[in-house]
């Protein structure tokens, strides 16, 4: 297998160091504008929690802040959700001495602006200042990212960790150092502790890092080992705690098998696979657990999760044609039009003025296709300064999309990838990025195919699968 070479442009890492105040002025103006917009949104938003996931994270954080540990009820520790976001919220509440939702939202503003800055740095390293500023602007004012900052959910924290992970990886390839390698692994571990979709990603990261590094095999192996050590140092203690508590191997949480089962059993709703949790009675995903295995009443959550995992895998292997068809549908759902904000308006969770709802929904419908289609073009036609970093970004996007295509896809899950796609979309706007491969017809064809498939997915959503929901939303807006 041929080693992936890192081909840097002229001193890309020195651009940030050498930047003058004048060079950074557009970024500072961008951050200031982003701060004003976010403060206005926080001020205009109710402090009540509308989504059940928000309430669960808040409940876990409250238990932590009160000294009862990671539990929904005192004395009954849980592993149901990845812990880092609840720790994050609990830390804010402990420092402020109150359980203020607004305090969390204000801190998330800071994280969002840090993400914007990190995207600018990544764009500067991979392309140029113009692309970096465009990518930062896309990230800073991306409507769904603005909306996610108002929710007590993992999006803001996870997105920051993903971008910082990629940025650190780029630094490691340009100048391999032991501490940076450990930091790369630790940051990936923190991301996995925020969303467990990434806990198996070292299986991709470590071989990719070994191939991307230059120098002696022993030196590359040492750097890879330090990266793994950083990851294990973060995830390992929590995995040991979970395994002991659940009496079965449990890395981050006890929801993976449950989610896999809901997305892969005979009654999985193929129009909304993520909504299997709402099915009751004999068609509920856990019906067999309660009625065929009465001894499961004494099982831990981890043991029940392992049962769900085994049942899901058995069903998938027994029904390969159904599994393949559903995976295609889940992949389409993952890249589907963003529905969180419009759905919240449709369901009456938030009641802003009608003009604001029109503005917000219009912004979502424009921004997502712009970034994703631009990102697809940029991925296939631009020339990043580091092939190794480019390979990591593609691997990361493909890995997360693949996992959700097996479990169940939802447009919410692609949101943390938007800043990375925004970097490529920004590069695609630079004429030089396209001209560099104007003769590479295969790349242009690949970009065209990707964009065409995305357009077909979105048209099917709007005019067929979600037509009823679209009509309901239009009625509310009028």
pLDDT 10s digits, 395-409: 999 999 999 999 988
Residue 264 located in a structural domain: no
pLDDT at 3: 47
111 Cβ contact partners less than 8 Å away, ≥ 6 residues apart: 156, 157, 160
pLDDT at 475: 73
Per-residue pLDDT for 203 more than 80? yes
DSSP run (H or E) holding 360: helix 354-381
Residue 96 located in a structural domain: yes
DSSP run (H or E) holding 76: strand 76-77
pLDDT at 20: 46
- Dihedral of alpha carbons 151, 155, 161, 163, sign: negative
Rounded Cα gap, residues 277 and 279, in angstroms? 6
Per-residue pLDDT for 172 more than 80? yes
Alpha carbon separation from 269 to 276, 284, 307, 406 (Å, rounded)? 6, 11, 21, 14
Q: Three-state DSSP class for 69?
A: coil
Report, as an integer, the average pLDDT of 27-37.
Answer: 97
Residue 298 located in a structural domain: no
| pLDDT > 90 in the chain, percent | 70
pLDDT tens digits, residue range 123-146? Answer: 999 999 999 999 999 999 999 999
Give the global pTM: 0.91
Per-residue pLDDT for 465 more than 60? yes
Q: What does residue 76 show for φ and ψ, rounded to 5 degrees? A: -130, 80
Q: Which of 194-208, 335-349, 359-373, 422-436 has the lowest mean pLDDT?
A: 422-436
CA-angle at 444, arms to 442 and 447, nearest 5°:
110
* 277 HSE (CA, 13 A, CB side): 9
Residue 355 located in a structural domain: yes
Average confidence score pLDDT of the chain:
90
Report, as an integer, the average pLDDT of 107-117.
Answer: 98
Rounded Cα gap, residues 84 and 60, in angstroms? 11
167 Cβ contact partners less than 8 Å away, ≥ 6 residues apart: 118, 121, 122, 125
- Furthest-apart CA atoms within the chain: distance in Å: 69
Q: Which of 225-239, 351-365, 455-469 has the lowest mean pLDDT?
A: 455-469
Report, as an integer, the average pLDDT of 171-200.
Answer: 97
Report, as an integer, the average pLDDT of 7-26.
Answer: 57
pLDDT tens digits, residue range 423-439? Answer: 999 999 866 555 554 54
> pLDDT category, 15, cuts 50, 70, 90?
low
Residue 274 located in a structural domain: no
296 Cβ contact partners less than 8 Å away, ≥ 6 residues apart: 289, 290, 303, 304, 307
Report, as an integer, the average pLDDT of 268-281.
Answer: 85
Residue with tokens 């692994």: 185
Residue 407 located in a structural domain: yes
| pLDDT > 70 in the chain, percent | 92
Residue 215 located in a structural domain: yes
Residue 52 located in a structural domain: yes
Rounded Cα gap, residues 354 and 4, in angstroms? 52
Report which of 191, 144, 208 is spatially closest to residue 414, judged by C-alpha positions.
144
Per-residue pLDDT for 5 more than 90? no
Task: Supply the DSSP symbol for 414.
Answer: G
Q: Which domain holds residue 421?
A: 22-255+330-477
DSSP calls for 108-159: HHHHHHHHHHHHHHHHHHHS-HHHHHHHHHHHHT-HHHHHHTTSSSSHHHHH
pLDDT at 276: 85
439 Cβ contact partners less than 8 Å away, ≥ 6 residues apart: none
> pLDDT category, 473, cuts 50, 70, 90?
low
> pLDDT category, 22, cuts 50, 70, 90?
low
pLDDT at 8: 47
Give the count of domains, the chain: 1
Between 126 and 356, whose confidence is greater?
Answer: 126
Q: What's the token pair of residue 322?
A: 């159904």
């Amino acid at each position: 297998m041929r080693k992936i070479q890192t081909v840097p442009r002229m001193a890309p890492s020195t651009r940030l160091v050498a930047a003058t105040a004048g060079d950074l002025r557009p970024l500072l103006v961008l951050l200031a504008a982003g701060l004003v917009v976010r403060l206005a949104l926080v001020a205009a938003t109710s402090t009540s929690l509308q989504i059940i996931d928000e309430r669960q994270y808040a409940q876990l954080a409250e238990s932590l802040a009160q000294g009862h540990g990671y539990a929904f009820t005192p004395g009954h520790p849980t592993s149901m959700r990845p812990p880092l976001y609840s720790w994050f919220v609990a830390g804010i509440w402990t420092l402020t001495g109150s359980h203020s939702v607004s305090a969390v939202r204000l801190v998330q503003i800071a994280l969002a602006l840090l993400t914007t800055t990190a995207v600018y740095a990544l764009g500067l390293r991979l392309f140029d200042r113009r692309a970096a500023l465009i990518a930062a602007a896309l990230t800073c004012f991306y409507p769904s990212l603005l909306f996610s900052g108002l929710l007590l959910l993992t999006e803001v924290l996870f997105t920051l960790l993903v971008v910082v992970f990629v940025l650190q990886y780029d630094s490691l390839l340009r100048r391999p150092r032991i501490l940076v390698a450990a930091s790369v692994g630790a940051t990936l571990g923190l991301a996995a502790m925020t969303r467990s979709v990434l806990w198996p990603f070292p299986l991709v990261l470590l071989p990719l890092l070994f191939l991307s590094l230059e120098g002696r095999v022993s030196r590359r192996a040492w750097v890879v080992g330090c990266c793994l050590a950083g990851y294990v140092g973060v995830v390992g203690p929590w995995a040991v705690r979970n395994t002991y508590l659940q009496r079965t191997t449990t890395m981050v949480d006890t929801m993976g098998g449950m989610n896999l089962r809901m997305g892969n059993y005979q009654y999985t709703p193929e129009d909304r696979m993520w909504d299997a949790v709402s099915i009751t009675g004999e068609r509920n995903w856990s019906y067999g657990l309660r009625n065929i295995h009465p001894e499961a009443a004494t099982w831990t959550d981890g043991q029940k999760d392992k049962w769900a995992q085994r049942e899901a895998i058995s069903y998938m292997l027994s029904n390969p044609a159904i599994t393949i068809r559903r995976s295609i549908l889940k992949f389409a759902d993952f890249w589907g039009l963003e529905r969180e904000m419009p759905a919240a308006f449709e369901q009456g969770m938030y009641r802003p003025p009608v003009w604001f709802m029109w503005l917000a929904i219009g912004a979502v419908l424009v921004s997502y296709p712009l970034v994703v289609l631009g990102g697809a073009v940029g991925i296939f036609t631009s020339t990043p300064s580091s092939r190794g970093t480019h390979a990591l970004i593609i691997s990361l996007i493909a890995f997360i999309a693949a996992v959700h295509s097996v479990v169940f896809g939802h447009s919410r899950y692609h949101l943390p990838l938007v800043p990375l796609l925004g970097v490529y979309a920004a590069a695609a706007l630079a004429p030089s990025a396209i001209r560099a491969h104007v003769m590479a017809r295969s790349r242009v064809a690949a970009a065209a195919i990707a964009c065409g498939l995305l357009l077909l997915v979105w048209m099917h959503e709007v005019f067929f699968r979600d037509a009823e929901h679209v009509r309901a939303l239009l009625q509310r807006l009028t």
